[in-house]
């Protein structure tokens, strides 16, 4: 089985991994030399099926439940399993009750328990929800490592268009927003984010700060770096972050911990999430081409399940083809 994967974002690399692990000969093609600038590059890396249930369908939670296991199997030591802490400023306490009523899988913590879990947040919030079984990873480190792993397994990476290619049995199209030109149902949802650095804050898990208009999260990364995200704007404009968004993100970080006021702004970025009208991902087949798209705000959470579905399609079809072949000879 020779498979061509178009797109080396999280959808493409996870699909390449599933296919290679099942014995396919895989080539990945992408016009980019590296993954910077893609939606995957700007992601927070939260594997948060329980928190996402608050605003997503049940299927998102169901499909995302095994994501952390998948990533841990593919990339041992890249996943941090410390859960997620959801907090709200005193004036937004009703938001916490609303969030709790729309989700499950959490423990309610009081002030002391919050401080025991995240010492730097001690005394800052009276109540929190701890989503115990959630996890996170650094998307940039994880995708770089996944690509290395794939190369070691014999997967070829090619830069540019696949015109020159020899024949493939199947193509998996994982081109994200680029596919919108051919699929009018796809739309972009703009996500703006910041990377801050401060030695004065230590966090062990993603912190989500609820707010009636502008919920924001902070995800800890190595060396006191923190990803602060993310806006959800119905637009596929890739221009720089706006002053308003930057102020909102910084305000939220400051509410979580005032020491963020003195942090360095290491980076600001904008990623465009590919989404279908129902905000659910799709694996579809059109002849020899399988499409994985519409990962919306759940790319790292749902790509493993989508990759499995695509690989199931590829190999079930091969079985049928082989059966026909055998019957004819
Ligand atoms: C700010 C932000 C925060 C997020 N946080 C999270 C999070 O915490 N958890 C989570 O699960 N999800 C998160 N997401 C969502 C996640 O990032 C996306 O769902 C996911 O990255 C989409 O992946 P993709 O592979 O479909 O697209 P992309 O990452 O955009 O990759 C598409 C690839 O296709 C390539 N391509 C384009 N045209 C062609 C072509 N013609 N031929 C070959 N290749 C082509 C592109 O160069 C690119 O490499 C976040 C998104 C944003 C923007």
DSSP string, 114-167: HHHH-GGGTTT-SEEEEETT-EE--HHHHHHHHHHHHHHTT-EEEES-GGGPPP
- DSSP 8-state class, residue 296: T
Mutation test residue for ligand 1: of 7, 146, 191, 216, the one with most atoms within 8 Å of CB: 7
Q: pLDDT (tens digit, 9 = 90+) per residue, 23-64?
A: 999 999 999 888 888 999 999 999 999 999 999 999 999 999
What per-residue string of b and e applies to 285-304 under the rule 16 or more CB within 10 Å gives b? eeeeebbbbbbbbbbbbbbb
pTM of the model: 0.95
SS3 state at 318: helix
Q: How far is the CA of 316 from the centre of ligand 1 (A)?
A: 27
SS3 label, residue 136: strand
- Write down the pLDDT at residue 164: 56
The residues lining ligand 1, judged by C-beta closer than 6 Å to any ligand atom, are 6-12, 29-32, 35, 38-40, 42-46, 174-178, 191, 193, 229-230, 271, 273-274, 295-301
Which atom of ligand 1 lies at the shortest distance from residue 193's CA?
A: 1
Each of the 329 residues of the chain gets a pLDDT tens digit; together they read 999 999 999 999 999 999 999 999 999 999 988 888 899 999 999 999 999 999 999 999 999 999 999 999 999 999 999 999 999 988 888 999 999 999 999 999 999 999 999 999 999 999 999 999 999 999 999 999 999 999 999 999 999 765 656 689 999 999 999 999 999 999 999 999 999 999 999 999 999 999 888 889 999 999 999 999 999 999 999 999 999 999 999 999 999 999 999 999 999 999 999 999 999 999 999 999 999 999 999 999 999 999 999 999 999 865 554 555 555 55
Question: Which residue in this structure is represented by tokens 């919306």?
Answer: 296
Distance from Cα 293 to the centre of ligand 1, integer Å: 9
pLDDT confidence of residue 214: 85
Residue carrying the six token digits 């296991």 = 69
Contact 228, 193 (CB under 8 A): yes
Q: Which tokens go with 14?
A: 């996870």
Q: Is 106:129 a contact under the CB 8 Å cutoff?
A: yes
Query: Residue 30: helix, strand or coil by DSSP?
Result: strand
Cβ neighbours of residue 100 closer than 8 Å, sequence gap 6 or more: 106, 108, 129
Secondary structure class of 73 (helix, strand, coil): helix
Q: From CA 151, how far away is CA 10, in angstroms rounded? A: 15
Distance CA 203, CA 222 (A): 10
Q: Which of 138, 153, 194 is nearest to 27 (CA)?
A: 153
pLDDT value at residue 213: 83
Other C-beta atoms within 10 Å of 45: how many? 28
- Residue 30: its pLDDT value, please? 96
pLDDT for position 160 = 78
| pLDDT for the residue 235 | 97
**The pLDDT of residue 258:** 97
Using the mean position of ligand 1's atoms as its centre, give its distance from the Cα of residue 2 in Å: 24
Q: Round to whole Å and give the CA distance between 256 and 88.
A: 9
Please give the Cα distance from 217 to 210 (Å, whole number): 8
Which among 267, 302, 263 has a CA at the least distance from the CA of 282? 302
How far is it, in rounded angstroms, from Cα 162 to Cα 2? 14
Ligand 1 geometric centre to CA of 299 (Å): 7
CA dist., res. 43 & res. 300, Å (int): 8
């Amino acid at each position: 089985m020779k498979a061509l994967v178009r797109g080396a974002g999280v959808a493409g690399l996870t699909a390449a991994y599933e296919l290679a692990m099942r014995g396919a000969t895989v080539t990945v093609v992408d016009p980019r030399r590296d993954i910077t600038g893609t939606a995957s590059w700007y992601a927070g890396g939260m594997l948060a099926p329980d928190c996402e249930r608050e605003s997503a369908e049940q299927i998102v939670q169901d499909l995302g439940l095994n994501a952390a296991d998948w990533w841990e199997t593919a990339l041992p030591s890249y996943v941090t399993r410390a859960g997620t802490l959801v907090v709200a400023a005193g004036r937004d306490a009703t938001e916490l009750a609303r969030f709790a009523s729309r989700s499950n899988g959490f423990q309610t913590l009081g002030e002391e328990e919050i401080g025991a879990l995240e010492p730097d947040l001690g005394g800052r919030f009276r109540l929190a929800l701890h989503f115990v079984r959630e996890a996170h990873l650094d998307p940039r480190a994880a995708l770089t490592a996944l690509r290395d792993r794939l190369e070691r397994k014999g997967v070829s990476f090619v830069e540019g268009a696949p015109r020159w290619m020899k024949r493939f049995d199947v193509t998996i199209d994982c081109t994200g927003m680029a596919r919108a030109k051919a699929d009018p149902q796809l739309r972009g949802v703009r996500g703006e984010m910041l990377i801050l650095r401060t030695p004065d804050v230590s966090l062990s898990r993603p912190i989500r700060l609820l707010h009636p208009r502008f919920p924001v999260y902070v995800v800890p990364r190595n060396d006191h770096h923190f990803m602060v995200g993310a806006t959800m704007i119905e637009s596929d404009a890739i221009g720089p972050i706006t002053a308003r968004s930057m102020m909102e993100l910084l305000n939220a970080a400051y509410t979580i911990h005032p020491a963020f006021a003195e942090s360095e702004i290491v980076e600001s970025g904008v990623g465009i999430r590919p989404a279908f009208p129902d905000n659910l991902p799709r694996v579809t087949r059109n002849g020899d081409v399988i499409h994985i798209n519409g990962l919306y705000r759940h790319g790292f959470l749902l790509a493993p399940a989508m990759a499995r579905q695509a690989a199931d399609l590829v190999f079930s079809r091969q079985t049928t083809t082989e059966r026909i072949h055998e019957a004819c000879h």
